[in-house]
Amino acid sequence: MKGERRNFFWLLAITFLFLFAVIFNKAVLSYDTKIAHPFLSDKAVALFNSQNSTNKLNLQKTGWIKQGAEEEDMPIRWMNHFYDPNVGYGLPGYAPANVWANLGIAQMTYVGGDQTWQTAISAYVNGDEKRAFIALGHVLHLIEDMAVPAHTKIDIHPERDPYEEWVKQNVNSNYKTAGYVHINNIDQAFNSLAKYSNKYFFSEDTIKISNSERYKEIIENNKIYLVTNDDLGYSYKLVEKKSIVGNIKYPKFESCISGLQPNVST
């Protein structure tokens, strides 16, 4: 019986972890804990339920997942939500997100306590579903943050990040149909998402220091934009580029956020 419960919970986790990879085809977002995290949870539950004739998640379990996803941003847990996959670090003095997801003893010193991946699995196997789904929500929050360039480029915005403002107004956009993607372990989930957002996108304060050779320029309506092309064949318009008195400026960073969707599919 415990083996069956473990397998079911792992299947559920796979559904959630890679729902976010599909959303990349629309935009790489920064996630607001009261808006985007619940939104992603609802989408993931809908996907899981659509693929399973039995063991569907009810409103109570969905609520527990959303509760955990929101509570992971309690002070100061968020300091452990950063991870640069190129160097393996997070914020100085704090654990990178992929490590934080497994640091049960360290998490016990924070508000919210131990909400690790292992806690989620163990609680589910032992029949404590509320504990399991709340902990799963915490871990999903960390995975979601790996889709945010500011989190994978270690670019802190204490007041706000422009992506966060964008996603608040666009959570109801139409997203592509999602499906299951095979993974071998949770580290693969962290690294695949973190590497994607780090490699192909930049945050507000890393535009100038990002590898310029990775981004091409296009001209639309007499304006110059930087464009990124990923390995899947998608092209994304990122930001407007201007030359002001010989200096390169990016004054329209926020206005281009809505352009974070495929321009060209090859």
pTM: 0.81
Secondary structure class of 225 (helix, strand, coil): strand
- Tell me which DSSP letter residue 237 carries: E
Portion of the chain with pLDDT greater than 70, in percent:
67
Residues 19-35: what's their mean pLDDT? 49
Question: Would you identify the CATH topology of the domain 2-200?
Answer: P1 Nuclease (1.10.575)
Q: State the DSSP H helix or E strand holding residue 5, giving kind and residue range, or none if neither.
A: helix 2-17
Buried b (16+ CB within 10 A) or exposed e, 207-243: beebeeeebeeeeeeeeebbbbbeeeebbbbbbbbee
Q: Read off the tokens for 213.
A: 């050779």
pLDDT at 55: 83
Question: In angstroms, rounded to a whole number, what is the distance separating the alpha carbons of residues 259 and 26?
Answer: 9
Numbered ranges of CATH 1.10.575.10 in the chain: 2-200
Structure confidence by residue, pLDDT tens digits, 208-230? 655 556 678 888 888 888 888 88
Secondary structure class of 239 (helix, strand, coil): strand
Lowest-pLDDT range, 59-68, 126-135, 149-158, 188-197? 149-158
Q: Read off the tokens for 155.
A: 């670019």
CA 41, 175, 44: angle at the middle one, nearest 5? 20
pLDDT at 254: 44
Question: In angstroms, rounded to a whole number, what is the distance separating the alpha carbons of residues 19 and 122?
Answer: 23
The confidence band for 264, taking pLDDT boundaries of 50, 70 and 90, is very low
CA 238, 19, 177: angle at the middle one, nearest 5? 85
Mean predicted lDDT score pLDDT of the chain = 78
Residue 258 phi, psi dihedral angles, 5° rounding: -65, -15
Question: In angstroms, rounded to a whole number, what is the distance separating the alpha carbons of residues 57 and 138?
Answer: 17
3-state helix, strand, coil in the chain (%, to 5): 45, 10, 40
Residues 20-49: what's their mean pLDDT? 63
Considering only residues 63 and 148, tell me which one the structure prediction assigns the higher pLDDT: 63
Question: In angstroms, rounded to a whole number, what is the distance separating the alpha carbons of residues 66 and 60?
Answer: 10
Q: What is the CA 182 to chain-centroid distance, rounded?
A: 18
Buried b (16+ CB within 10 A) or exposed e, 101-120: bbeeeebeebebebbbbebb
Residues 53-73: what's their mean pLDDT? 92
pLDDT at 260: 44
pLDDT at 179: 65
Any idea how long the chain is?
Answer: 266
Question: In angstroms, rounded to a whole number, what is the distance separating the alpha carbons of residues 161 and 28?
Answer: 13
